[in-house]
Amino acid sequence: MSNTMANRTVERLRDEALNLPHAERAELACDLVQSLDGPTDPDAAKEWDAEILRRLDEVTSGNAQIIDRAEFARRMRERITRL
């Protein structure tokens, strides 16, 4: 397929995708991003579940340092400007 033909195909697909309802666009976007990732780690979900439970335990036991949204945003902006 020539580059011009490929570009037209991408433009047509983009136009059609942008006309989809919000939920369908979100699902398509998710599928496309996932298609760029490598193979899934079969243990990842189990490990994330364990990490979530560990963090919840820290919060409920009072051992976690909690910050509000504004402080989180400030820290993220600071990190980004250092890049």
Asked if residue 55 and residue 23 are part of one domain, the reply reads no
Asked if residue 65 and residue 82 are part of one domain, the reply reads yes
Asked if residue 32 and residue 7 are part of one domain, the reply reads yes
- Report pLDDT for 41: 86
- Report pLDDT for 6: 85
14: containing domain:
1-38
Contacts of 64 (CB under 8 A, 6+ apart): 55, 58
Asked if residue 53 and residue 17 are part of one domain, the reply reads no
Asked if residue 76 and residue 44 are part of one domain, the reply reads yes
- Report pLDDT for 5: 80
Asked if residue 53 and residue 28 are part of one domain, the reply reads no
Asked if residue 81 and residue 46 are part of one domain, the reply reads yes
- Report pLDDT for 61: 97
Cα(79)–Cα(83) distance, rounded to whole angstroms?
A: 7
| Residue type for position 44 | A
* 50, 55, 76, 23 alpha-carbon torsion, rounded to 10°: 60
Asked if residue 53 and residue 13 are part of one domain, the reply reads no
**Measured CA distances, 18 to 5, 28, 45, 51, 66 (Å):** 20, 10, 31, 36, 39
Whether the predicted pLDDT of 12 surpasses 90: yes
Asked if residue 44 and residue 78 are part of one domain, the reply reads yes
Q: 19-77: per-residue pLDDT in tens?
A: 999 999 999 999 999 899 888 888 998 999 999 999 999 999 999 999 999 999 999 99
Whether the predicted pLDDT of 1 surpasses 80: no
